[in-house]
Amino acid sequence: MKSDRKRLGDYIKEVDDRNSSLEITAVRGISTAKCMIPSVANLDGVDMSGYKIVRPKQFVYVPDTSRRGEKVALAMCEGENCIVSSIYTVFEVTDKNALIPEYLMLWFKRPEFNRYARFHSIGSAREVFDWEDMCEMEIVIPDMTTQMKQVALYSGMLSKQGTYERSIADLEMICDSYLEDLKKEHPAINIAPYIREVDDRNVEFGADRVKGVSTSKVLIETAANLEGVGFSGYKLVQTSQFVFVPDTSRRGEKIALAMNTDKTCLVSSIYTVFEITDQAKILPEYLFLWLKRSEFDRYARFHSIGSAREVFDWEDMCEVKIPIPGLEAQRAIIAIHHALEKRKSIAQKLNELLAPLCPVLIRGVSA
């Protein structure tokens, strides 16, 4: 299919409607991820009569492209009317029978647009991609049938991804509610009788087994320089064992902790490794559900002691209390959590598919 490039300025116009009646109070910011976000500005006492109105299917972007990670903050309004800063540029498609706004948004979501806008930004202290630059950009505008087809393909993927995101939120709420109900139904019991510290040292594994521990509660590839390092002093972490970093300083109010769900790995000797002593009483996955909650992060930080380094040590871990129901109830919440993790994995894969989809669709109409 052959489609000629068209000057975008022949299909769009700038809009400058002000919120003079103060009827609109929903203030939005613009993200480089190409979406509208709640404003983080302090609006206490601010006169919003000069703010610009953005209506559904209209676009808004920030002309200043400096210090934005080589990206342009731009979005299309897909919800109700909102208002944005007067320094932003608002525009709309003049003839929706010639150019579908959602199709135009596919162009803006491409990394090629970010590169184009940054290349054409001019200025010294502030580099700006102004309205004239936007109008001079050329895009491929195929027939309406092709535009609608491309938009439908992308919207379908976006809808599916949104469905998974909503199901994730529902499952997270179910998990949290289940755990909160357990706290009401069962007394909190000290976990000390059910865990023990493990200090098995390495004699056979090399650098490929060394892991770090994240505050996101997962084992990660180590960022340490391991050249010339001997690994005999590293600690082993077997499958279903736990590891945490006692030093809780400068970690964003979180504790670095994880449960090993994979093969045996190695961690630094300064980390603490422990395991469940009686899985007829507590399942490792059940304990991990409690340790990965934000409530535990706050608990660990509150109980960390020290001056130069604040530490949540083994004795502190042994003082942790959780409700311990029967194994059937533990398996039930673990099953829900597994479903949640599977949904998150699918949502991540859909996100990975969406990222390159816009360039692929546009290449299809440019061929």
Query: Can you give the pLDDT at residue 1?
Result: 42
H/E stretch holding 138 reads strand 138-140
d(CA 91, CA 60): 6
Judge contact between 269 and 235, C-beta under 8 A: yes
Q: Which structure tokens are listed for 177?
A: 């509610």
What does DSSP assign to residue 118?
H
Query: Can you give the pLDDT at residue 158?
Result: 81
Closest CA to 240 of 217, 209, 224, 263: 263
Domain ranges of the chain: 5-142, 144-171+332-358, 187-324
- Is pTM beyond 0.75? Reply is no
pLDDT tens sequence across 123-175: 877 889 999 999 999 999 999 999 999 899 888 888 877 777 788 888 888 88
Same fold, 5-142 and 187-324: yes
**CATH topology assigned to domain 187-324:** Adenine-n6-DNA-methyltransferase TaqI; Chain A, domain 2 (3.90.220)
- Cα→Cα distances 123→61, 126, 352, Å: 17, 5, 35
Q: Which residues, given as ranges, of the chain have pLDDT below 70? A: 1-3, 355, 358, 363-367
Q: How many CA atoms lie within 13 A of 92 on its CB side?
A: 14
CATH for 5-142, among 3.40.309.10, 3.90.220.20, 1.20.1530.20, 3.40.50.720? 3.90.220.20
CA 142 to chain centre: 34
Query: Can you give the pLDDT at residue 226?
Result: 85
